[in-house]
Amino acid sequence: MNSKIKKDSKKRIFFDNASTTRIDDQVFKEMESYFRENYGNPSSLHDFGELAKSAVESARKKVANLIGASAEEIYFTSCGTESNNLALWGLARALKGKGNHIISSVIEHHSVLNPLKEMKKNGWNISLVPVDECGLINTKDIENEITDSTILISIMHANNEIGTIQKLKEISLIAKKNNIIFHSDGMATAGIIPVNVRELGIDAYSFSAQQLHGPKGVAALFIKKGTRIKPIFLGGTQEKGRRAGTENVPGIVGFGKACELAKIKMEDNIKYISKLRDNLINGIINKVKNVKLNGHTTDRLPGNVHISFKYIEGESILLMLNMEGIAAASGSSCTSQALKSSHVLNAIGLSPTMAQGSVLFSLGKYNTAEEVSRLLEVLPPIVKRLREMSPIYKE
Amino acid sequence: MVAYSKKVMEHFMNPRNVGEIKDADGIGEIGNPVCGDMMSFYIKVKDNKLEDIKFKTFGCGAAIAVSSMVSEAAKGKTLDEALRITNKDIAKKLGGLPKNKLHCSNLGADALHKAIKDYLDKKGK
């Protein structure tokens, strides 16, 4: 948009780490030889294939290790959306003889909600539990929905928009008690906060490389050993027949490295990013009147700053920030192709005006205190300017 | 970012005629925050001409640019001329709008026309 800013990449600030993350240089380096030299197909018998296969298996261990799983429980896919689709269709179809009822929540990602919508058309019964104003599910609501035909519960670990972290352990206990399979979409959490599928008692967990400084185009689904699942891609016998298709070897290698780094650095990263987050939240609240922090005050992702600016609209804020080289996101209807404000913001009962004025700043390990200061410098005048233009603004 | 034309961005970053007219001869309000955009137009009429126009807009980049362009296009025009300005004209003057933003341009001229009608109604009474 502004060519001067675009050319000077040093000035660009990425506060949209919920959408994707910058690949770690070490990850990128690790991947390189699997494009150029070790480009074999893991299914091939020759040395090229063998090398690729051992790289995939070594990555599988690292990916499994991130979430406390064993390597044989990790299935590689092409993206988070595929992992969620495989989990929902695959588990539900494997359990079809047992029942046809699935419980999920109203704030799930579209890669869960839209498959569920389609499944509803295909004979499954779907119940979506609500959330409170902080985005938390009341586990009693899940319990109340359970019937004899409930086969699957799918609840996201943390919400990608407002950052609220659900009480997965409580939900898994309910699932276990009722002999129901429990899947969780961990796209916003894996590599960001500690995840241990054993401690949490989860049967299936989706997570993606691009959310944890790995490459795009590769993700995983953890399926607990002994859990039945039907494939949605039919073809070769890759991934033990549960996900046909030639493996994205460089991507998987990168995913492995990214998981390894995320695990080693997790505590430091959480400390560092939460501090930036808190400084940004406090800075905005101190400098700008009539704002509201959405989401949960404590059960919140380390990098999540989701704020509604009263009287103004999110896309306008994003455009002006973009002119300053700052990237953020919004749940405003004006920013969505469908022209609908975010279903998550509706679900927490945010008023339409406040949903329109919402901005998500999602922070990551590459953000700095200087970048937060810069945002705190440019944001108040932008809000002021837009408010002065707004017919609903009252001082 | 959003695929806005240069003209849209120019009007968005430097909108003309932002504000209110305290003793406006006509006021036109359209939209509401629930549907996403809201525009208020204020006009001052002298010798059947739009002597002054001011607007306030709650909405996206397109909504603000459209408001600005409407105010610029109508200022100094006779009431008849201003009533003939269409939403299509405004979108065209802005070098086009992304398809899903055309509804924003549909508000601009409507809000202005509403202000003119408000003036004519008051005058008629």
The string of pLDDT tens digits covering residues A92-143 is 999 999 999 999 999 999 999 999 999 999 999 999 999 999 999 999 999 9
Give bridge partners of residue A14 from the DSSP assignment: A327
Q: Which residue of B has its CA nearest to A338?
A: B100
Q: Looking at residue A350, which CATH number applies to its domain?
A: 3.90.1150.10
Q: How far is A391 from chain B (nearest CA, A)?
A: 5
pLDDT at residue A339 in the model: 72
Beta strands at A181-185 and A150-154: parallel, antiparallel or unpaired: parallel
A63 belongs to a structural domain: yes
Read off the pLDDT band of A4 (50, 70, 90): very low
Chain B residues near residue A334 by CB distance under 8 angstroms: 36-37, 59-60, 62-63
In terms of domains, do A216 and A142 share one?
yes
Range of the domain at A37: 25-262
In terms of domains, do A72 and A209 share one?
yes
Q: What fold characterizes domain B6-120?
A: Sufe protein. Chain: A (3.90.1010)
Q: How far is B94 from chain A (nearest CA, A)?
A: 16
Read off the pLDDT band of B1 (50, 70, 90): low
**CA gap A133, B117 in Å, rounded:** 43
In terms of domains, do A337 and A385 share one?
yes
Q: Which residue of B has its CA nearest to A354?
A: B33
A332 belongs to a structural domain: yes
Close Cβ partners of A360 (under 8 Å, ≥ 6 residues apart): A16, A18, A161, A304, A305, A306, A328, A329, A330, A331
The last residue of one of the domains, among A247, A262, A277, is A262
Q: Looking at residue A39, which CATH number applies to its domain?
A: 3.40.640.10
In terms of domains, do A271 and A252 share one?
no
Asked if B61's CB is within 8 angstroms of A389's CB, the reply is: no
Q: Over the stretch A288-307, which tens digit does the pLDDT of each residue have?
A: 999 999 999 999 999 999 99
Q: Would you give the end-to-end CA distance of chain B in angstroms?
A: 49
Read off the pLDDT band of A25 (50, 70, 90): very high
Q: Over the stretch A310-338, which tens digit does the pLDDT of each residue have?
A: 999 999 999 999 999 999 999 888 777 77
Q: How many domains does chain A have?
A: 2
In terms of domains, do A257 and A151 share one?
yes
Residue with tokens 């997965």: A168
A334 closest CA partner among B51, B102, B91: B102
Higher pLDDT, A373 or A7: A373
Chain A residues near residue B56 by CB distance under 8 angstroms: 389-391
Higher pLDDT, A107 or B32: A107
Q: How far is B41 from chain A (nearest CA, A)?
A: 10
A395 belongs to a structural domain: no
pLDDT at residue A45 in the model: 96
**CA gap A129, A143 in Å, rounded:** 10
What percentage of chain A carries pLDDT values higher than 70? 97
Q: Over the stretch A231-256, which tens digit does the pLDDT of each residue have?
A: 999 999 999 999 999 999 999 999 99
In terms of domains, do A45 and A176 share one?
yes
In terms of domains, do A190 and A279 share one?
no
Chain A residues near residue B62 by CB distance under 8 angstroms: 334
Q: Which residue of B has its CA nearest to A352?
A: B34
- Quote helix, strand, coil % in chain A, to nearest 5: 45, 15, 40
**CA gap A357, A361 in Å, rounded:** 13
In terms of domains, do A255 and A287 share one?
no
Residues of B recognised as catalytic: 35, 104
Beta strands at A219-223 and A74-77: parallel, antiparallel or unpaired: antiparallel
A394 belongs to a structural domain: no
In terms of domains, do A18 and A32 share one?
no
* Token pair in block for residue A194: 């500690």
In terms of domains, do A61 and A9 share one?
no
In terms of domains, do A210 and A334 share one?
no
What percentage of chain A carries pLDDT values higher than 90? 93
Chain B residues near residue A316 by CB distance under 8 angstroms: 12, 59-61, 64
In terms of domains, do A217 and A90 share one?
yes
Q: Is the ipTM of this complex over 0.85?
A: yes
Q: Over the stretch A41-51, which tens digit does the pLDDT of each residue have?
A: 999 999 999 99
What percentage of chain B carries pLDDT values higher than 90? 79
Q: With contact defined as beta carbons under 8 Å apart, do A184 and A155 qualify?
A: yes
